Amino acid sequence: MNAIAPKPILAVEGLTRHFDTAHNLWGRPTHTVKAVDGISFTVAPGETLGLVGESGSGKSTTGRLVLRLEKPTAGRIVFEGEDITGLKTHQLIKVRKKLQVVFQDPYSSLNPRMRVGESVGEPLRVHGVVRGGAEQRDRVAELFRRVGLDPRFMDRFPHQFSGGQRQRIGIARAIALGPKLIVADEPITALDVSIQAQIINLFLDLQEEMGMAYLFIAHDLGMVRYLCHRVAVMLRGRIVEMGPTAEVFANPTHPYTRALISAAPIPDPDREAARRRLPYEPSPPPPEAELREVSAGHFALV
């Protein structure tokens, strides 16, 4: 770790989420799914940490735990130096202002009967930033322009927009209160290829302008490599490798990371013809395995 590294905006320590999926006659759990199994990581201000892994690896659950949408079984979530793990719903309100979310499908996260301008302005009103009326409309118009939407669209309903436009609306809502961290859960997966680039550029522009950090959950390695400063690879609820993106992609150490990178399709017929995929049957990492530093800031499970 670098001595001048700033204090993290988010620090997660030993985060764990177990689901008991079966119980015996006495209500004791007989089968437990370890969705997230004691993971630790930090996100620095203005930094993008990518979280990658296959479905069921626990990456989305990690995002939900950080957002406090789910209760951890064990571990701590420290946001801006404050332990938010045990905060009650009403205490979380002031945290929500600075900790926002962008979902995969903005259609299911926008109220279909609410005009999109209202949806974007709602957090501003709820947190008492504006009092509604013209003041709110002005702020929403500004947010619309910022995410590349025509403010005249404010009075339309979600179904009147394309997938890419709806994702812009979701982003406008997320940045309304000037958050310090946005958890983005597969925000481009449902979008067409030509629209993905537009949304990724928007994420980059907004980070540059507003300086917020992203926890970017994705399975598209190409985009993660492009967008994220650091990346953490998850497998069966554990982080098996974590480090600066370029370093992890250049020198993947854990066999699973190597298999993952070797399997990502490359839009180049010559390189595809020459490729050899590294076979790997993912198995749960042994419980005693630990993350060790293999190079500066680059950790792998050994």
Provide CB contacts within 8 A for 92, sequence distance 6+: 68, 84
DSSP states along 105-155: -HHHHS-TTS-HHHHHHHHHHHTTS--SHHHHHHHHHHHHHHTT--GGGGG
**Binding track, positions 226-265, relative to other proteins; x by CB under 8 A:** x--xx-------------x-xx-xxx-------xx-xxxx
The reply to whether 38 sits near other proteins by the rule CB under 8 A is no
Two structure tokens written together for 200: 């990724």
Q: Is 46 exposed, middle or buried (0-12, 13-18, 19+ CB in 10 A)?
A: middle
Binding positions for other proteins, 99-128, rule CB under 8 A: none
Give the residue, chosen from 16, 40, 109, 198, that forms a contact with other proteins under the rule CB under 8 A: 198
Give the residue, chosen from 27, 28, 55, 88, that forms a contact with other proteins under the rule CB under 8 A: 55
C-alpha–C-alpha distance, residues 207 and 199, integer Å: 12
CB of 15 to other proteins, least distance (A): 21
Q: How many C-beta atoms lie closer than 10 Å to residue 160's C-beta?
A: 12
Two structure tokens written together for 276: 């050899």
Q: Which is nearer to other proteins, 124 or 228 (CB)?
A: 228
Q: How many C-beta atoms lie closer than 10 Å to residue 34's C-beta?
A: 17
**Pick from 106, 111, 109, 105: which is nearest to 157 by CA?**
111
Give the residue, chosen from 74, 87, 204, 289, that forms a contact with other proteins under the rule CB under 8 A: 204
Give the residue, chosen from 92, 129, 130, 197, that forms a contact with other proteins under the rule CB under 8 A: 197
The residue type at 29: P
Two structure tokens written together for 153: 């669209």
Q: How many residues bind other proteins (CB under 8 A)?
A: 63
The reply to whether 150 sits near other proteins by the rule CB under 8 A is no
Give the residue, chosen from 192, 286, 292, 302, that forms a contact with other proteins under the rule CB under 8 A: 192
CB of 239 to other proteins, least distance (A): 17
Give the residue, chosen from 14, 29, 86, 211, that forms a contact with other proteins under the rule CB under 8 A: 211
Residues that bind other proteins (CB under 8 A): 1-2, 5-6, 44-47, 54-55, 162-164, 192-198, 200-201, 204-205, 207-208, 211, 219, 221-223, 225-226, 229-230, 244, 246-247, 249-251, 259-260, 262-273, 275, 277, 280, 282, 295-298
